[in-house]
Amino acid sequence: MLITILVFLIIISLIVFFHELGHFLTARKSGVRVEEFGFGFPPRIFSIKKKETIYSINLIPLGGFVKIKGESGENRDEPDSFLSKPFWKKFIILASGVGMNVVLAYLLISLGLMIGLPTMLDDESSLSQNISQEKIQIASVYKQSAADLAGLKTGDAILSVNNEVFTKVTGLQEYLNKHQDEVINLELSRGREKFYKEVTQNPIAEFGNQRYLGVSLIKTGIIKYGFFEALYQGFISTVSIIWQIVVALFLLIKNLFYGVSVTDQLAGPVGVVVLTSQVTQLGLIYILQFTALLSLNLSIINILPFPALDGGRILFAFIEKVRGKPNNDKIESIVHNLGFSLLILLMVFVTYKDLLKYGQQILNNIKGVF
């Protein structure tokens, strides 16, 4: 559990630090004064001032922050204030945090492709010079299924069943269907650990009386490229993932308008910690992959035109440009504060749902530590 928390803090700090670094660099380049660039959040532990900027290290290790002159509506007429700059410079400064999160994800994905990145394959794929270590893995486990009761987890690889090795998901599924009433001897691996389980398949309520192992399966492999090819494929993968996130977000918002519950599709800090625990058990390359995905998800959310987010601030800057005169700072501040309050309420609600979903698992992990 302690290792999970440490990895979680490193991941969040890296993502937020890159985000704020984007704001910092573009503000400086645009002639806007940066009053403070902090790593972590106050209270302050250590600081040093160089020229006009305070560089600080703070106690709470959850990323960082940039304090930009004029961002809260003050000093509008001073030349080094954010509010005195034209719209295109404001846009660059506000959007650069999201941009840096995309860059971070691209670098991590490209690095992963150089090291060897886990990827999902179809049954008809064959070994090539770029793909190795093909295996069948568990994508999810149904609650109270035979697999769940036996302690199988997402990410476990099925090496053999009754000493038979399978290279196709369909072949393994057909075998399990033919041996529903028999004891199944599974050889599995979890990370570097190899272990065995004896399982008797059982019925799953939502699927009738037929017996199942109770898992969804995927075929995976390690894909690896040389330096330049990894950079190219990393770009293609990053663009593809961004598109998938945008589509998923659109469907989520659509479901909201249709009255469909979406809370099970959201994860708060607790959910992210649980996911961090799972990827930490799988190894470094999975942590890199998870960090890249989280960075892209947060970048897409942050660019939405919602108050308090970067997208919301861009929207207000655009409104000011169209109107041809300054916005009312008090009204804008109230709107952003209201948006921030709504985000906090959403975070509290999602955290509550996460605790209901993962509470027992977290308690068990804590007991394991002590």
Q: For residue 368, what pLDDT band results from cuts at 50, 70 and 90?
A: very low
> How many other CB atoms are found less than 10 A from the CB of residue 220?
19
d(CA 124, CA 129) in angstroms, rounded, equals 16
Q: Residues 241-269: what's their mean pLDDT?
A: 71
| Confidence (pLDDT) at 351 | 67
Q: Where are the domains of the chain?
A: 2-116+256-369, 119-223
Contact predicate 308/343, CB 8 Å: yes
Higher pLDDT among residues 177 and 110, named by residue: 110
| 10-14, 44-48, 53-57, 366-370: the lowest-pLDDT one | 366-370
CA angle 151/155/118 to nearest 5° reads 170
Whether residue 63 is predicted with pLDDT greater than 70 in this model: the reply is yes
**Chain segment 70-129, per-residue pLDDT in tens:** 887 777 778 888 988 999 999 999 999 999 999 999 999 999 999 988 888 876 655 456
> How many other CB atoms are found less than 10 A from the CB of residue 172?
20
| Confidence (pLDDT) at 227 | 92
Tokens of 269: 């800090």
Contact predicate 249/243, CB 8 Å: no
Q: Give the percent of the chain with pLDDT over 70.
A: 85
d(CA 118, CA 108) in angstroms, rounded, equals 13
Average pLDDT over the chain reads 83
CA angle 94/15/369 to nearest 5° reads 150
Q: What b-and-e string marks burial along 311-325, b requiring 16 or more CB atoms within 10 Å of the CB?
A: bbbbbbbeebeeeee
> How many other CB atoms are found less than 10 A from the CB of residue 177?
13
d(CA 138, CA 115) in angstroms, rounded, equals 23
Tokens of 240: 């593809």
Q: Which helix (H) or strand (E) holds 66?
A: strand 53-68
| Confidence (pLDDT) at 369 | 38
Region 119-223: CATH code: 2.30.42.10
- Catalogue the long-range contacts made by 180-188 (C-beta closer than 8 Å, 24 or more residues apart): 180/210, 180/211, 180/212, 181/211, 184/213, 185/161, 186/150, 186/152, 186/158, 186/160, 186/161, 187/158, 187/159, 187/160, 187/161, 187/163, 188/152, 188/156, 188/157, 188/158, 188/159
Q: Residues 194-214: what's their mean pLDDT?
A: 79
d(CA 117, CA 119) in angstroms, rounded, equals 6
d(CA 54, CA 44) in angstroms, rounded, equals 11
Tokens of 38: 């902090």
Tokens of 226: 């040389």
Nearest to 114 by CA among 123, 104, 103, 106: 106
Higher pLDDT among residues 137 and 126, named by residue: 137
d(CA 86, CA 318) in angstroms, rounded, equals 10
Could you give the maximum distance between any two Cα atoms of the chain, in Å?
79
pTM for the model stands at 0.79
Strands (E) in 179-262, as ranges, are 183-190, 193-200, 202-203, 211-212, 215-223
Q: For residue 1, what pLDDT band results from cuts at 50, 70 and 90?
A: low
Q: For residue 29, what pLDDT band results from cuts at 50, 70 and 90?
A: very high
Whether residue 331 is predicted with pLDDT greater than 50 in this model: the reply is yes
Q: Would you call 354 exposed, middle or buried from its count of C-beta atoms within 10 A (0-12, 13-18, 19+)?
A: buried
- Alpha helical stretches, state H, 116-226: 146-149, 169-178
